[in-house]
Structure 1
Amino acid sequence: MALPFYTISDLDLANKTVLMRVDINSPINPDTGEILSFKRIEEHARSIRKLPLCKLILLAHQSRPGKKDYVNLSEHAKVLSDLLERDVIYVDSLFQKRAVDAIKAMEVGDIILLENSRFYAEEVVLKDATMDTQEKSHIVRTLSPLADVFVNDAFSAIHRSQPTLVGFCRLMPSCAGPLMEKELRALKRVTENPERPCIAVLGGLKVDDSIKVAEHLLGRNIIDKLLTVGVVGSMFQWADGYDLGTPNINFIRSELKDADELVERCRKMLAEHPDRICYPSDMALNRDGKRERITLSELPADAPIYDISIDTIARYSIVIKEARTIIANGPAGVYEIPEFSEGTIEIFKAINDSEGYSVMGGGETTQVIKDRKMTGIDHVSTGGGALINYLSGKEMPALGALRTSRGMFPEGEEESQK
C-alpha cells in the first residue's frame, strides 16, 4: 500500500545528521515529576531501533503553557535511555548556543533530546501559520543548516501545524518515521477500500468527536454499519425521539454545551442512513451503585445510564463477529466502576476475538485493552486528536508537508529504486 511521501527506507540516513520529531508527551505526576506511562516513549524507542546509525537529534514537546505537567524533558531522556540501553543526552536548549554546540559535537551513534519545543513561543503562537512562516522561525532557521534529513514520527501530532512539525520539510529531504508509517498504513487499510462488511463502534464521552467521525465514515460510504455505545448511543436515542429521563438529559447538557446542535446532527444522520446506524436497545442504570437493566420501551429513566446491557451486547457481538473490518473508539459505559464495565469488556472481547482486521484508538480504549491483555486486536493507535481528525477526513498539515517534501527532493525516488 503506497504512501504519498517518503519513509525511512526511501532515504539514506546512515551516518547522516537526522532531525527526528517524536511525540513523547506523557502523563506526569505534578507533585513528583514522575512519568506515569511510558507508552509513547516505548513506541518511539521501537522507531529509533529501526534507524541506521546516525547522529540523531530528537525534537519533542510536553504538555502546554499553564498546565501542571508542562515540564522539561530531562526525565523523558532518562526513560528513553533505559529503554534503548543507549545514552540519550538531554540538552536544556532548543536552538540557542548550547543546542547548536551539542549538535556540532555529535558523533555517529549519538542521540540527543533537545528541550521541550513548547517552552519557546514560536512553537505555540505559530500553530496555525503557513509553511512559509514556519520556515522563517528561529527554531527552523537555526536547526535546518545543521541537519541532513528530517524524520517525522509524531503521528499523534499530524493534525497540527508548528515549526518542529512542518517547518523543515521544504528545506531538506523529509520522511515519515516507522511509527508514523505503521499508523498510517493501518488507517489506510480501514478507510480506503476496506474489506466488507466494514463497521465502526463509537462510544465514550467525546460525543462531538464521534459525531464528526460518524458523519465522515457514513457520508463517504467507508462503513456499512455504525454501532453506538456510551453517551454517543444515548445521543442517537435522543435524536430518534426517546426521552432519556431528567438525570441523563441533565448530564448530557452539563457535558456538552452544544448538545442541541449535536442531537440535530445525529437526527440528520439517522434520516440519511436509517438502516446503517444502531443504538442500544437496553441499558444498565446506576441505581444507588447497583446495576439495573432498562429497555428502550421503559424510558424515560429516573437514574443515570452507566452501561449497555445484555441484549445490546449480544446483538452488537454478532455484527462484530461478521465484520471483516472494524474501527473502534471509546468505551461502552463507565467502565472504571466494575459494576458497569461489562458492556465495554464484552464489546472489546468481541472485537479481540473477531477474524476481521481491527483498529482501535482512544486513551480509555487503550487502557482497557492493556488491562485485559487483549492481543487479538490488530492495531491500537497512539493518536488522540490526530486519529479523530484523520477519521473525520480533516486535512493533516504534517502529512501535507511530507508530501510537499517528496516532490521537492527526488533523491528519495532514486534511493528506493536501488
Structure 2
Amino acid sequence: MSDLPFLTMDDVEFGDLRVLLRVDINSPVDPTTGKILDDTRMRESLATINELRDAMVIILAHQSRPGKDDFVPLEEHAKLLSSLLQRSVDYVDDLFGSKALDAIKKMEAGDILMLENTRFYAEEIALAGKPPDVQAGTHIVRKLSHACDVYVNDAFAAAHRSQPTLTGFAHVMPSVAGRLMEREVRNLNRFLRSDEKPVIAVLGGAKVEDSIAVAENLLKRGVVDKVLTTGVVAILFLHAAGYDIGAPNREFISREIEKCDMYVEKAKDMIKKYEEKIEMPMDVVMNVNGYRKALTIDKFPATHPIFDIGLDTIAHYSNIIESAGKVILNGPAGVFELPNFSLGTVEIFNAVARCEGFTVAGGGHTVALLRQLGIGNNIDHISTGGGALITYLSGKTMPVIEALAEARKKYTSGGYKSQV
C-alpha cells in the first residue's frame, strides 16, 4: 500500500473496469480558431491514461471558466489527446445526461471517452469550496458514480479546489491518485521534508502575495535556509527594509499589489524574525528610456522603475544556488519579456539548472521560460500546479488530497458499497 496519504494506481487492479479519470488539461486556446496553443498539461496526463490501456476510461476535465473567451467545449481537446496517444478518443457533448450515460454503457475494454467541459455544469462553479459530502450529493456525482467502478484523480493543478468533480466522487466510490498527482506530491514532499541541505527558495515575479505566503510557511517550519528575493518581491522587501526605492517604484507596488501596506508590514515582520535567512538584491537595474542603468542599493533612491537585478546580485545568488542541496524556483527575476532586462532571470534560471542538488520549479512564466531556454530537462521536478503549488508550499489545505486521503481510510475499512 502507498506510503502517501492516499491510495495510488498501484493499489488497484484496473483490468477492464470503467475508470472515471479527472485530469487538468486546461490549456491556452486561440479564441478565433478554437485551436489549443500549448499541449503541456495534456502531455502530463498521458502516463496515467496509457497505464489504463485495458480499462474503459471516462475522462472528466474543465476548460477555463464562464465569461472567458476560451471557455469552450472539449471537442478539440479530445482530438489533440487522440493524436498524442495515437489512439481513438471519443467525445460526447454531455456530462451526465442520457447521451453521456449511453456512451459509457456502450464502451468496451480499451475505449476512451471524453465528457463535456465540467464547468458547463452550473454546480461545478456554484458549489466551489463546499465540503465533499455536499459535492457528493450533486447530480453529476450521483449519476457518474453509478456508471463507473473506480475514480482516479490526476488533476494536481486543481487540487487546491473543492468542486463536485474534484472532491465529490472520493466520498462515494473507491478513489485513488493518478501518476501525475502521485509524482507531484512525492516530489514536493521531498522538497519539504528530506535532509538535503542547504535549502534555497528563489522567489520572484509579480505575485507578491503568493511569495510571501510561501516564504512565511517555509521559514516558520524551518524548511529553508535562505530565501532569495527577486522581481517585484525584491522591490517590496527592499522597501520594507527601509531602502528608498524611489517614487516610480513606490507608486508601482502601491498600484499593482492589492493591500500593499499589509504586505509591506508582513515583509518587515519577516525581515525582523529571519534577517539572516532573507536575501535582498545588493544592486538593481533601472529602466532608463529602455536602457539598463545599474544602481547599488547604497546609492538609492532609484529614480526610474526597477526592471532587473544587478550583476553583483546575479553572481551572489548564483553561488548560493549552485551549492544548494535543494532549490525551489518560482517567478522571474525581472521584466524578462524585454530583452534588455532579461539577464537576471536567464542567469538565475541557468544557475538553478546547473545546481547538482534537488531542484523544483513552478509557475506559468517560470515553466514556459525554462522550456524556452532549453533547460527544462535539467530541473528535477517541474510542477504543473500554479495556485495548487503555491497552496501546497504555503501549508494550506489541499481539498483534493484531503478527499483522497479520506477515500483511502474508507476503502481500507471496507466503507464503500462497491469495492474494487
Give the TM-score normalised by structure 2: 0.97
- Does the CA contact (< 8 Å) of 1:307 and 1:333 recur in 2? yes
The amino acid of 1:129's aligned partner reads K
Deviations 1:106-161 (A, max 9, x none): 00000000000000111001111121111110000110011111000000000000
Deviations 1:321-364 (A, max 9, x none): 11101111000001111111110110010110011100000111
Cα distance, 1:30 vs structure 2: 1.2
The amino acid of 2:305's aligned partner reads P
The amino acid of 1:148's aligned partner reads D
Question: Structure 1 residue 400 and structure 2 residue 402: aligned?
Answer: yes
Residue number in structure 2 paired with 1:22: 23
Residue number in structure 2 paired with 1:211: 212
3-state DSSP class of the match of 2:11?
coil
3-state DSSP class of the match of 1:237?
helix
Structure 1 ranges of 4+ moved more than 2 A: none
- Does the CA contact (< 8 Å) of 2:20 and 2:150 recur in 1? yes
What root-mean-square deviation, in Å, do the aligned CA atoms of Structure 1 and Structure 2 show? 1.1
Residue number in structure 2 paired with 1:116: 117
Deviations 1:43-94 (A, max 9, x none): 1123211234100000000001111111100000010000000011111000
- Does the CA contact (< 8 Å) of 2:96 and 2:144 recur in 1? yes
Question: Structure 1 residue 191 and structure 2 residue 200: aligned?
Answer: no
Question: Structure 1 residue 336 and structure 2 residue 327: aligned?
Answer: no
The amino acid of 2:189's aligned partner reads K
- Does the CA contact (< 8 Å) of 1:280 and 1:312 recur in 2? yes
3-state DSSP class of the match of 1:285?
strand
3-state DSSP class of the match of 2:42?
helix
Residue number in structure 2 paired with 1:383: 385
- Which ranges of structure 1 fall in alignment gaps of 5 or more residues? 413-418
3-state DSSP class of the match of 2:360?
strand
The amino acid of 1:401's aligned partner reads A
Distance 1:335 1:174 in 2: 42
- Does the CA contact (< 8 Å) of 1:194 and 1:222 recur in 2? no
3-state DSSP class of the match of 1:20?
strand
Deviations 1:212-242 (A, max 9, x none): 0000000100101100000001111000001
Deviations 1:250-293 (A, max 9, x none): 11111112111001000000000010000111011111011110
3-state DSSP class of the match of 2:243?
coil
Residue number in structure 2 paired with 1:415: none
- Does the CA contact (< 8 Å) of 2:138 and 2:164 recur in 1? yes
Residue number in structure 2 paired with 1:369: 370
- Does the CA contact (< 8 Å) of 2:204 and 2:229 recur in 1? yes
What percent identity do the matched residue pairs reach?
Answer: 52
Distance 1:287 1:395 in 2: 44
Deviations 1:370-405 (A, max 9, x none): 011102111111100000000000011100110111
Residue number in structure 1 paired with 2:411: 409
The amino acid of 1:275's aligned partner reads E
Distance 1:253 1:411 in 2: 53
Distance 2:392 2:129 in 1: 17
Distance 2:91 2:45 in 1: 16
The size of the alignment, in residue pairs, is 412
The amino acid of 1:403's aligned partner reads A
Distance 1:235 1:191 in 2: 26
